[in-house]
Amino acid sequence: MRRLDCPFCGARELHEFRFHKSLPAPQAAATQYQRVYERVGSLTHSEEHWQHLLGCRAWLRVSRNPSNGDVLEVVLLGADLP
Amino acid sequence: MMRHYSALALLRARIAGHAFWKPLWTGRALREAYDVVVVGAGGHGLATAFHLARDHGLRRVAVLEKRLVGYGNVGRNTTIVRSNYLLPENHYFYEDALRRWETLSRDLNYNVMYSPRGVVDLALSDDDMPGLARRGNAMRLAGIDAELLDLPALEHYVPELQPRCARRFPILGALVQHRGGTVRHDAVAWGYARAASALGVDIIEDCEVTGVETAGGIATGVQTTRGRVRAERIVFATAGHTAMIGTMLGVPLPVETHLLQAMVSEPIKPLLRRVLVYVAPGHGETYLCQSDRGGLVMGGHLDGFPSYTREGRWDRLEDVVQGALQVVPQIGAVRILRHWAGTNDMTMDGSPIIDRIRYDNVFLNAGWCYGGFKAIPASGAACARLVATGTAPDLIRAFRLSRFATGHLLDEPGYGPFPVRL
């Protein structure tokens, strides 16, 4: 994993981005403890919040495979909200 | 039968030639049932098995390992041991570990090369000094050795650092733990494996645990790639793959897995007597020491995002090197020889977990973040006591899994519920 595709800026070097947190499974995020602390333990899939800190500063939702570093999807955080 | 090592034995080996040396632990077959099955033959798993056999007399103990003894983080760290933590729960625990390091070679009858060369936490900014003084005071209140050095004292203690030399970020002082130092990391894995095996512990390599079998609300055994094994108690000590154990047991854990890099330079003549630790402005946490072979062992901060690749980021490697050069510029021409990464099970408060998980007879020894190696002897003893007696010793009472839900965090880094803040 060398780069991330920012929806605004295109492919940029990884050091421009800051990882914020990996997300709990959506169905598990019921209690505050689960939302804040629990993480998905998966070798193949990780949903994460990142920020393009040294770029456009957009908050991003990134799907990755943590076993080989493949980036599956990068979308603007909240783009799926109505 | 284990050979007892001594000066006399060395002499006999010299006469007898290499035929004297036998494998450190014997390859035994996997049995059908055990009192305790420990999953993971790293430092913590082997130490737990050793203490179960030695302190609690359990004779039917197995350590199941997916790969090889010492393949994981016990062989991937920077070999530093220290107990200079701020929070009481942490510094008492790590102090227990440090005391055990001091006598471990004798306890295991195996030279782990504990070298109390002094861990020097450097202050490179005005903010650093009060922070180090506070940490040192907390340690001294707990009876742990710590000494705050001003510049002349530091010059005397680490002359090779030339602390008065002009630097962009001048060195202002340091907090020193004299008993801190380094331990030969592979020897820890081998020494524990050898001592545990001599006490009858079965160490089974190339045996991956794929599931837990349950009946009537308790665990009854594990499924492995070599078949089923019945177990009265199960201990998971799987470090970087702890999150997967949570998934296996249906208990999502407050753990993210991050990479931590380390590297070693080509061997050079003796340059650095102490272990240096500091936050290099612009490059983050940096620590370096010189191995007995002469290589400069360097490490830094986490890579900064979850990963199981064991392949470090190049820009982080550069960060570590630049951080080292800021303080020890004379190593600029030295070449990096090897570079590697380990997977760290980072908890949300930076402190470990030793507790039951889901079932009354299943235990988790995990969440060691960056502190796993130095914790090994204390963790093994305390975890074994929890497993054998069912009661957690006072030393690890704060390391329970439920602390995240109840708000009793041990937030040593102090930046909230994140395993990493860059």
Bridge partners of A21, per DSSP, are A49
Chain A CB contacts of B242 under 8 Å are 41
Tally of domains in chain A = 1
- CA B302, B281, B183, B339 dihedral sign is positive
Q: What is the enclosing helix (H) or strand (E) of B228?
A: strand B227-236
ipTM of the modeled complex: 0.93
DSSP for residue A26? G
**Residue B272 sits in the same domain as residue B148:** yes
**Residue B197 sits in the same domain as residue B78:** yes
Cα(B6)–Cα(A32) distance, integer angstroms: 57
Residue B17 lies in a domain: no
Cα(A26)–Cα(B418) distance, integer angstroms: 19
Q: What is the mean pLDDT of residues B98-115?
A: 97
**Residue B234 sits in the same domain as residue B156:** no
Given pLDDT bands bounded at 50, 70 and 90, which one contains residue B1?
A: low
Residue A27 has pLDDT above 80, yes or no: no
For residues B313 and B130, the model is more confident at B130
Mean pLDDT over all residues of chain A? 90
Mean pLDDT over all residues of chain B? 94
Residue B23 lies in a domain: no
Residue B15 lies in a domain: no
- Pair B288, B369: CB distance under 8 Å: no
Given pLDDT bands bounded at 50, 70 and 90, which one contains residue A28?
A: low
- B256 vs A43: CB contact, 8 Å cut-off? no
Q: Give B321-350 pLDDT, tens digit per residue.
A: 999 999 999 999 999 999 999 999 999 999
Residue B284 has pLDDT above 90, yes or no: no
Tally of domains in chain B = 2
Given pLDDT bands bounded at 50, 70 and 90, which one contains residue A29?
A: low
**Residue B299 sits in the same domain as residue B168:** yes
Q: What are the tokens at B280?
A: 């290099």
Percentage of residues in chain A with pLDDT exceeding 90? Answer: 65
What's B189's domain CATH number?
Answer: 3.50.50.60
* pLDDT number for residue B311: 87
Residue B129 lies in a domain: yes
**Residue B279 sits in the same domain as residue B384:** no
- A66 vs B247: CB contact, 8 Å cut-off? no
* pLDDT number for residue B20: 83
Q: Which of B347, B364, B395 is the last residue of a domain?
A: B347
**Residue B211 sits in the same domain as residue B326:** no
**Residue B80 sits in the same domain as residue B198:** yes
Chain A CB contacts of B255 under 8 Å are 39, 41
Chain A CB contacts of B405 under 8 Å are 33, 37
Residue A81 lies in a domain: no
Residue B175 has pLDDT above 70, yes or no: yes
CA proximity to B86, closest of B146, B174, B149, B173: B146
Strand, coil or helix: A29:
coil
Least confident stretch, B10-24, B111-125, B267-281, B392-406? B10-24
Q: Give B48-79 pLDDT, tens digit per residue.
A: 999 999 999 998 999 999 999 999 999 999 99
Expressed as residue numbers, the domain containing B297 is 115-180+257-347
What's A42's domain CATH number?
Answer: 3.30.2270.10
- A41 vs B253: CB contact, 8 Å cut-off? yes
**Residue B189 sits in the same domain as residue B123:** no
Residue B24 has pLDDT above 60, yes or no: yes
Residue A72 lies in a domain: yes
Q: Give A44-77 pLDDT, tens digit per residue.
A: 999 999 999 999 999 999 999 999 999 999 999 8
Chain B contact for A63, CB < 8 A?
Answer: no
Q: What are the tokens at B251?
A: 């208990």
Cα(B94)–Cα(B96) distance, integer angstroms: 5
What's B283's domain CATH number?
Answer: 3.30.9.10
- A21 vs B418: CB contact, 8 Å cut-off? yes
**Residue B110 sits in the same domain as residue B193:** yes
- B306 vs A28: CB contact, 8 Å cut-off? no
Half-sphere exposure (Cβ direction) of B185: Cα atoms closer than 13 Å: 21
**Residue B36 sits in the same domain as residue B76:** yes
Residue A58 lies in a domain: yes
Cα(B109)–Cα(B152) distance, integer angstroms: 41
Chain A contact for B402, CB < 8 A?
Answer: no
Bridge partners of B148, per DSSP, are B175
Chain B contact for A46, CB < 8 A?
Answer: yes
Q: Counting beta carbons within 10 angstroms of the beta carbon of residue B262, is it exposed (0 to 12), middle (13 to 18) or buried (19 or more)?
A: buried
- A33 vs B404: CB contact, 8 Å cut-off? yes
Residue A82 lies in a domain: no
**Rounded to two decimals, what is the model's pTM?**
0.95
Q: Give B79-96 pLDDT, tens digit per residue.
A: 999 999 999 999 999 999
**Residue B329 sits in the same domain as residue B197:** no
CA distance B37 to chain A (A): 22
Residue A24 lies in a domain: yes
**Residue B75 sits in the same domain as residue B90:** yes
Percentage of residues in chain B with pLDDT exceeding 70? Answer: 100
Chain B CB contacts of A49 under 8 Å are none
Q: Give B178-192 pLDDT, tens digit per residue.
A: 999 999 999 999 999
Q: Which of B294, B323, B347 is the last residue of a domain?
A: B347
- A46 vs B306: CB contact, 8 Å cut-off? yes
Expressed as residue numbers, the domain containing A69 is 3-76
Q: What is the enclosing helix (H) or strand (E) of B343?
A: strand B336-347
Q: Which of B347, B381, B413 is the last residue of a domain?
A: B347
Residue B198 lies in a domain: yes
Residue B422 has pLDDT above 70, yes or no: no
Cα–Cα distance list, B358 to A34, B229, B329, B337 (Å): 16, 19, 51, 44
Residue A16 lies in a domain: yes
Chain B contact for A22, CB < 8 A?
Answer: yes
User: Chain B interface, mutation test: which of A39, A51, A53, most B Cβ atoms within 10 Å?
Assistant: A39
Q: Give B227-269 pLDDT, tens digit per residue.
A: 999 999 999 999 999 999 999 999 999 999 999 999 999 999 9
Residue B140 has pLDDT above 60, yes or no: yes
- Of B252, B313, B315, which is closest to A40 when you measure between CB atoms? B252
Looking at this protein, which amino acid is placed at residue B275? V
Residue B2 lies in a domain: no
Which residue of chain B has the CA closest to A62? Answer: B305
